[in-house]
Amino acid sequence: MEPGNDTQRLEFLLLGFSEDPELQPLIFGLFLSMYLVTVLGNLLIILATISDSHLHTPMYFFLSNLSFVDTCFTSTTIPKMLVNIQTQSKAITYAGCIIQMNFFVLFAGLDIFLLTVMAYDRYVAICHPLHYMVIMNHQLCALLVLVSWVVSVLHALLQSLLMLRLSFCTDLEIPHFFCELNQVVQRACSDTFLNEVVIYFASFLLAVGPLTGILYSYCKIMSSIRAISSAQSKYKAFSTCASHLSVVSLFYGTGLGVYLSSAVTQNSHSIATASVMYTVVTPMLNPFIYSLRNKDIKSALRRL
């Protein structure tokens, strides 16, 4: 297949985790179970926050948005993998690959921005409790979510447009369970310098910028908590942000782990397996983390 081929007939092969036919039913059952738990758990969080008037606060507004994004994030990759296993096919069309990649980049970016916004919300709640409702008003909350969507959409659109300029030759096998941006770029037979520069520059900004904001917020939060004299008040203040801190640690820990491992090892199957942690496991665990450590959520779920 020559460069500049007819992209309408171009197909990629998603190799997934294993080519062993005996393992396919096990992989299918495992990922179907995790996907159903993820969707059900996040939908319950959304329904609980909508139906319970006690949860109509900025914190739970951001949480419901995070649950929606996590559901969409998982839905961009797992259903296609399950269909491929069921039909015993590894193929994904060129258009399907670009669309999957676009939505994956979009919802990954939204996850990062929403976690940053939620860290700012906890900073205001603990460090400026008397002015919390004035600062975190409905207009600001809606604006923060809107800006997160706009920036994420523009970033995903930029990556997709840069991908469309590439030509592909014969090496169309992707050793992953979805169209991961770096893996697809590496299969191109045209010049990928611009794509790689944009990918690494955007990854640096998306990782370092929001993470710096999150760490700054929690440094201020810890300083404020240490200044509280009552042990009960300290525990109450820390418990309001413990769930979010757990989710941030899980998401960034697994995401950075995959990124660092890809820089060290050339084993693409190991990278695909590690990617499951932040693409599937983290969205699945988020509802449990918020439910188990949050009395308001547990009460709302019982009433629901």
- Identify the residue whose tokens are 């397996």: 273
- Res 4: pLDDT: 46
Contact 185, 196 (CB under 8 A): yes
The stretch 137-158 carries a mean pLDDT of 96
Question: Where is average pLDDT lowest: 48-57, 148-157, 221-230?
Answer: 221-230
* pLDDT tens string 90-134: 899 999 999 999 999 999 999 999 999 999 999 998 889 899 999
| Prediction pTM value | 0.91
Q: Which residues, including other chains, have CB under 8 Å from residue 116's CB and lie 6 or more apart?
A: 210, 213, 214
Q: How confident is the model at residue 22 (pLDDT cuts 50, 70, 90)?
A: confident
pLDDT band at 3 (very low <50, low <70, confident <90, very high): very low
Q: Specify the range with the lowest mean pLDDT, choosing from 83-92, 97-106, 163-172, 186-195.
A: 163-172
pLDDT of 237-266, one tens digit each? 777 777 788 888 888 877 777 666 665 655
Q: Kindly list the distances between the CA atom of residue 236 and the CA atoms of 232, 240, 251, 253, 270, in Å, as whole numbers in the listed order.
A: 6, 6, 24, 26, 41
The answer to whether residues 24 and 85 touch, using CB atoms and an 8 Å cutoff, is yes
E-assigned strand segments in the chain: 11-14, 91-93, 173-174
d(CA 259, CA 274): 10
Please tell me the predicted confidence (pLDDT) of residue 186: 87
**pLDDT at residue 267, rounded to an integer:** 60
- Mean pLDDT value of segment 18-32: 88
φ and ψ at residue 275, rounded to 5 degrees: -65, -25
What is the Cα–Cα distance from 244 to 41, expressed in whole angstroms?
16
Say what the pLDDT of residue 159 is.
95
- CATH fold of the domain at 11-303: Rhopdopsin 7-helix transmembrane proteins (1.20.1070)
Per-residue pLDDT tens over the stretch 43-83: 999 999 999 888 899 999 999 999 999 999 999 999 999 99
Positive/negative CA dihedral, 158, 164, 166, 169: positive
- Cα distances from 169 to residues 2, 26, 112, 173, in angstroms, run 5, 33, 34, 11
What pLDDT sits at residue 251?
Answer: 84
Q: How many whole angstroms separate alpha carbon 138 and alpha carbon 141? A: 5
Which helix (DSSP H) or strand (DSSP E) does residue 285 occupy?
helix 282-292
2, pLDDT greater than 70: no
Higher pLDDT, 174 or 261: 174
Residue with tokens 């700012």: 120
Q: Which one, of 51, 73, 31, 89, lies nearest residue 255 by Cα?
A: 73
